[in-house]
Amino acid sequence: MSSSPKVLFGFHAVGVRIKTAPQSVFEVFFDVSRRDARMRQFVDRTKEAGIRLIESDGLRLAKMCGSHGHQGVVARVDALAQVKSLDELLEQLEAGSDEPPLLLVLDGVTDPHNLGACLRVADGAGAHAVIAPKDHAAGINATVAKVASGAAETMPYFMVTNLARTLGELKERNIWCIGTSDDAPKTIYDVKLTGPVALVLGAEGEGMRQLTRKTCDELVSIPMRGAVESLNVSVASGVCLYEALRQRTG
Ligand SMILES: C[S@@+](CC[C@H](N)C(=O)[O-])C[C@H]1O[C@@H](n2cnc3c(N)ncnc32)[C@H](O)[C@@H]1O
């Protein structure tokens, strides 16, 4: 599993880390020129958590995180100790959970913004993990963490050497692998998502690779009523995951 970034930025990403694992935050740098209510509240919470605050300026913060989207807040953090492998997570789910696994598999999503948005929606819908291939896929970096708004801290993200083999292993564990493609005749609303399920989505341009497509148990589409052929991968992830959640809680 890829480790958390050493630098987090933005109110949400840093705020979630302070709330969920304050001991892992070394220090927080903030832009002293920002004196609005949001910043004051953030500074108060950081102090309450006993974390060292360091006065800084926008330029220095931008250099630290390599982005201007820091909102005046950057934290230096330790990598979180989370489940170490996909196998470990699946064992845990099989042993102790009354909830069947819900996994999001991304076959080659390379845009950090898309990965961040996928992690965020996976977290929102209660998925247990996001899986991607090691090659030709975005890893967790500070931009992903910012876009994920805290979900990069909470959502296990496993990058695997051979995605088709991993799908095979999921199938051996009786996890039903559902691929998504805009040309599939069956829709996401026609399939049962209440059991152990892995939802497999493709890359921004090309969609799923042939081998990934062939390895899935079945393929489904999301209805497209207008002129465009397909949705952004994070939006498609949201539609599929929330349909699973609807079925599981309905
Ligand atoms: C931008 S789309 C890629 C479109 C690509 N032309 C294709 O053939 O799949 C990225 C991914 O989002 C998912 N997706 C987007 N729109 C979809 C739809 N209408 N039905 C099913 N999946 C969709 C699929 O997983 C797709 O691989």
In whole angstroms, give the CA distance from residue 202 to residue 192: 21
Q: How far is the CA of 240 from the centre of ligand 1 (A)?
A: 11
Do the domains 7-77 and 86-249 sit in the same CATH topology, yes or no?
no
Q: Which residues contact residue 126 at a Cβ distance below 8 angstroms, ignoring those fewer than 6 apart?
A: 99, 102, 245
Q: How far is the CA of 129 from the centre of ligand 1 (A)?
A: 20
Tell me which CATH code domain 86-249 carries: 3.40.1280.10
In whole angstroms, give the CA distance from residue 152 to residue 101: 19
In whole angstroms, give the CA distance from residue 82 to residue 154: 9
Name the residue of 110, 131, 163, 182 whose CB sits within 8 Å of the most ligand 1 atoms, as the mutation to test its pocket: 182
CA of 220, closest atom in ligand 1: 21
| Domain ranges across the chain | 7-77, 86-249
CA of 205, closest atom in ligand 1: 3
* Spatial strand order in the sheet of 73-77: 7-9, 73-77, 25-31, 52-56
Buried b (16+ CB within 10 A) or exposed e, 14-40: bbbbbeebeebbeebbbbeebeeeebe
- Reported as a single tens digit per residue, the pLDDT across 36-89 is 999 999 999 999 999 999 999 999 999 998 888 899 999 998 866 566 789 888
Residues with CB under 6 A from ligand 1: 180-182, 201-202, 204, 207-208, 221-222, 224, 230-231, 233, 236
Tell me which CATH code domain 7-77 carries: 3.30.1330.30
- Reported as a single tens digit per residue, the pLDDT across 107-125 is 999 999 999 999 999 999 9
**ipTM of the complex, rounded to two decimals:** 0.97
In angstroms, what is the C-alpha Rg of the chain? 19
Structure tokens at 140: 């967790």
Place of tokens 């931008």: 62
In whole angstroms, give the CA distance from residue 67 to residue 10: 10
Name the residue of 180, 225, 241 whose CB sits within 8 Å of the most ligand 1 atoms, as the mutation to test its pocket: 180
Find out whether 231 is annotated in a ligand binding site.
yes
- The reported pTM is 0.77
Specify the DSSP element, H or E, that contains 231.
Answer: none
pLDDT at position 1 is 47
- Reported as a single tens digit per residue, the pLDDT across 121-157 is 999 999 999 999 999 999 999 999 999 998 998 899 9
Ramachandran class of 160: left when φ > 0, alpha when ψ lies in -120 to 50, beta otherwise: beta
The DSSP 8-state label assigned to residue 100 in this structure reads P
Report whether pLDDT(2) > 50: no
- Reported as a single tens digit per residue, the pLDDT across 202-243 is 999 999 999 999 999 999 999 999 999 999 999 999 999 999
pLDDT at position 69 is 86
Structure tokens at 115: 């990965």
H helical segments located in 49-131: 58-65, 86-96, 112-125
